[in-house]
Structure 1
Amino acid sequence: MDVVSLIDALGEPAVFALAGVVAGIIFGISAEQSRFCLRAAAVEVARATLGSRMAVWLLTFSTALLWTQAMHTMGIIDLGSSRWLASPGTLSGAIVGGVVFGIGMILARGCPGRLLVLGATGNLRAILSGLVFAVVAQMSLEGALSPIREFISGGWITKGPNPNILWELNMPSGSGIVIGIAFAALALVIAYRNRVSWVMLLFGCGVGFSVAVGWFLTYTLAQTSFDPVPVGSLTFSGPSADTLRYLLSTDSPLEFDVGLIPGVAVGAFVSALMAGRLIWQGWDGARSMQRYLAGAALMGFGAMTAGGCTIGAGVTGGSTFALTAWLALVSMWLAGMAADRLIDYAPHTVPVT
């Protein structure tokens, strides 16, 4: 059955949500198996102990770059029509939002994607933190915090569409693929030195592949839909808020983002179930609870201000080489590393979790 027939049978909203479920399941399984987490990778870099988490993150990033840039080069998708490159970008929002988000992910001990995966395996800390993240993200988009977000985002905006770094540097076609290969090679070197299992590396690639799947599905649907469809891929800031709004109101429409969150949860749950990793986990005390929820709130505001989370801006946006996405990613890395050194770091005593 082709896309048009599927839309005729189920309707556009259901097909869009189903596409989100498919991409989400791939991400959920892969992220649970590989323990993908930018926060953990940033902590390894901050403590000068490059290990498995850095190898997995680099492999995820390189896989997303390779697939996304290859599809664009071959004309399968057009990244110029994506939300990252089709409209102006906010440089101030990317920097400030990235810094706020980076601090938040250290406090919450995980980015939104990681919290969603952990929540699906029985981690009550992650579930409550994820809800706080979603609420604050919605407040930052349309609620009480939106004036602050708009003030920050409006401070420094690109003239015209968000610049593509490769295009601005007049780099030849296929340069993005070469850069992706370079990141993959670095990931494999780190993995070899740390004896990272091929299974973890394979599923690390799966996380990046899920981003490419998201690009392919949303672009394909955009070409067949009568109504405008945003061309994008995985992110957890907007979808978390959209899913929460959909659950609270039947007036909210079905779309890719609404299918993504339950898809990730189902994928992570099934993966953990098959591996015997389902276990209820709670809080260690009031101080721990304060830390997690404060971090979740900072991530909610930071992600909306930066234009995305570690997946949305860092991997999805980064795979397009959009300037603001890379600025946000670098800001998240630097702020996360600095926050870890200031808040958590104690030589030889604090493990990377």
Structure 2
Amino acid sequence: MFELETYYLVNILGLALGVVFGFIAQQKQFCFSGSIKDFLQIKSTKRASSVIMAMIVAIISTQVISNIFELDLTQSAYFKKDINYIAIIIGGALFGAGMMIADGCSSRSIVKFAQGDSNALITLLFIAIFAYATTKGILFEIVNPFINNPTLIEASKIIDNFQLNIYLVLTILFILLYMFTKNLKRVFTLYDGAIIGLLIGASWFITGYIGSESMEKEIPIQAISFVYPSAKTLELFTYYQVNEFSFGVCLVIGAIIGTFISTLFNKKYSFGCTANKNINKVKYNMIGGAMMGVGGIMAIGCTVGQGLSGLSTLVFSSFLAIISIFVSGYFTGKFLLKRDKLAMCFIFEWEDKEKKSKEIDFQI
């Protein structure tokens, strides 16, 4: 009987997770930055509720799986030794502003590109290029000394990078979910968030449990993230001799495939919107992508990498990162809205309010 080496099995499962992620994210247009934009423009909390649901399920599934299979989550990048909170806050702020300027974070740009928005490819390329430049390229000599600054690291040691109490975190999230939904029936429509949350738990299991059996190559324990994996995907595509398929790269490829498959059944979003006369879309894609590429590396993750995967470990630095991303994204969104430059193509409102909603025609 033919048996796959563990390394290849992990990559295949990573590809499958990416396909499911892309399919679900396209079907319901799951998006962290979009949830902020929805609230700023039409006070809608629908997509925000999906994000909160994803956080809740990600935390529960991760903690259950890690306890059952005795996974050591402290070996992941989120429990990095010599943590620099200042770098995480600044990186999160850069990423949050960038995702609003480019109209989508890294995972959202993957979905938008695969469903027909060619401008999103510009964002993806700039995320990948600047993330790579920050880790191995021209920006490394600038950013790395700041991230590993001894003074800032020593100052950060005042607060240990501890794990928060799961009951406290879940209580806060359930309160937020209640505030956003205000209707039990609405909770049952948030299946996209629930499935994506389960994918986070599954990714920890695949890399932490199945991957631990690998004898041919060491597989680091990790979950779903898209900034650094986007850089590694670009590296593989352009210079395959120095790179190879990995769990993260397979996630990116799978998300593109999954989104494209989803567009065959859900054609509503299967095109890119025409540019608004007030928005220089290409310029915004480039600037926002560059900010996310640098910020995502500094913050050790993106809205999915820190907001779901990191958050699921309950580590303090991940909460710091996602709060920084949210605050920066929120105020950047308000600034863009005031200048009539906050893009919007589609309305995402609760189904029971759809008929009462005023028709809005925003263009990206």
Pick the TM interval, shorter chain.
Answer: 0.7 to 0.9
Q: Go from structure 1 to structure 2 and tell me whether the alpha carbon gap of 1:54 and 1:234 turns closer, same or farther (over 3 Å shift).
A: same
The correspondence for 1:293, drawn from 286, 292, 297, is: 286
Distance, in Å, in 2 between the alignment partners of 1:258 and 1:203 is 23
The answer (yes or no) to whether the contact 2:273–2:345 under 8 Å persists in 1 is: no
Equivalent position of 1:171 in the other structure: none
| Alpha carbons 1:116, 1:130 under 8 Å: kept | yes
2:328 to 331, 335, 339: 335
1:165 aligns with 163
Tell me, in whole angstroms, the C-alpha distance in 2 between the residues paired with 1:188 and 1:271.
Answer: 30
The answer for unaligned runs of 5 or more in structure 2 is 347-364
The answer to whether the aligner puts 1:255 opposite 2:246 as a matched pair is yes
- d(CA) in 1 for partners of 2:143 and 2:104? 23
TM-score w.r.t. structure 1 length?
0.86
Alignment partner of 1:318 is 2:318:
no
- Which whole-Å deviations, capped at 9, do the CAs of 1:24-47 have from their partners, x for residues lacking one? 122112211222111122335556
Deviations, residues 307-333 of structure 1 (Å, cap 9, x unaligned): 111111121111112222111111111
- What's 2:265 paired with? 274
Q: Distance in 2 between matches of 1:55 and 1:215?
A: 24
Higher mean C-alpha deviation, range 259-268 or range 219-228:
219-228
Deviations 1:78-131 (A, max 9, x none): 212222225332212211101111110110011110110111111101122111
The 8 Å contact of residues 78 and 315 in structure 2, kept in 1 or not, is answered as yes
CA contact (8 A) 1:106 1:339 kept: yes
Q: Which runs of 5+ in 1 are unaligned?
A: 167-174
Question: Partners in 1 of 2:345 and 2:84 — Cα distance?
Answer: 33
Q: Aligned to 1:304, which of 292, 297, 320?
A: 297
| Kept after mapping to 1: 8 A contact 2:211/2:221 | yes
Distance 2:99 2:135 in 1: 19
With normalisation by structure 2, the TM-score equals: 0.83
Provide closer, same or farther for how the CA distance between residues 269 and 72 of structure 1 changes in structure 2, counting only shifts above 3 A: same
Cα displacement string for residues 240-273 of structure 1 (whole angstroms, at most 9, x for unaligned residues): 0111111122321221012111111111111221
Q: How many residues align?
A: 337
The one of 46, 52, 56 equivalent to 1:52 is: 46
Alignment partners' CA distance in 2, 1:13 and 1:79? 19
**Distance of aligned partners of 1:88 and 1:257 in 2 relative to their CA distance in 1, 3 Å threshold:** same
Alignment of 1:143-182 (within 5 A): 143-155=137-149, 156-157=152-153, 158-159=156-157, 163-166=161-164, 175-176=165-166, 179-180=169-170, 182=172
Cross-structure match for 1:10: 4
The 3-state SS of whatever aligns with 1:228 is coil
**Cα distance in 2 for residues equivalent to 1:161 and 1:15:** 39
Distance 1:108 1:262, change over 3 A: same
SS at match of 1:299: helix
What is aligned with 2:351?
none
**Residue 206 of structure 1 aligns with which residue?**
195
Where 1:84 maps in the other structure, the secondary structure is: helix
Counterpart of 1:220 in structure 2 is 209
- Is this contact kept in 1: 2:225–2:301, CA < 8 A? yes
Distance (Å, rounded) in 2 between the aligned partners of 1:278 and 1:47: 19
Structure 2 residue identity aligned to 1:277: K
Contact 1:91 1:153 (8 Å CA) reproduced: no
Structure 2 CA distance for aligned equivalents of residues 321 and 178 of structure 1:
11
Match of 2:362 in 1: none
Q: Post-superposition shift, 1:162?
A: 6.8
Q: Is the 8 A contact 2:87 2:298 kept in 1?
A: yes
Opposite residue 266 of structure 2, the aligned amino acid is: A
**Cα distance in 2 for residues equivalent to 1:265 and 1:352:** 21
Give the secondary-structure state (helix, strand or coil) at the position aligned to 1:10.
coil
Structure 1 segments of 4 or more deviating over 4 A? 44-48, 158-162, 192-197, 349-353
Query: Per-residue CA shift, 1:159-187, capped at 9, x if unaligned?
Result: 59972232xxxxxxxx4256336524532
TM superposition shift of 1:218: 0.4
Q: CA RMSD in A?
A: 2.8
**Stretch of structure 1 that moved more, 259-268 or 31-40:** 31-40
Report Cα offsets for 1:129-171 as digits up to 9, x if no partner. 11111111111111011122213312422559972232xxxxx
Identity over aligned pairs, percent: 24
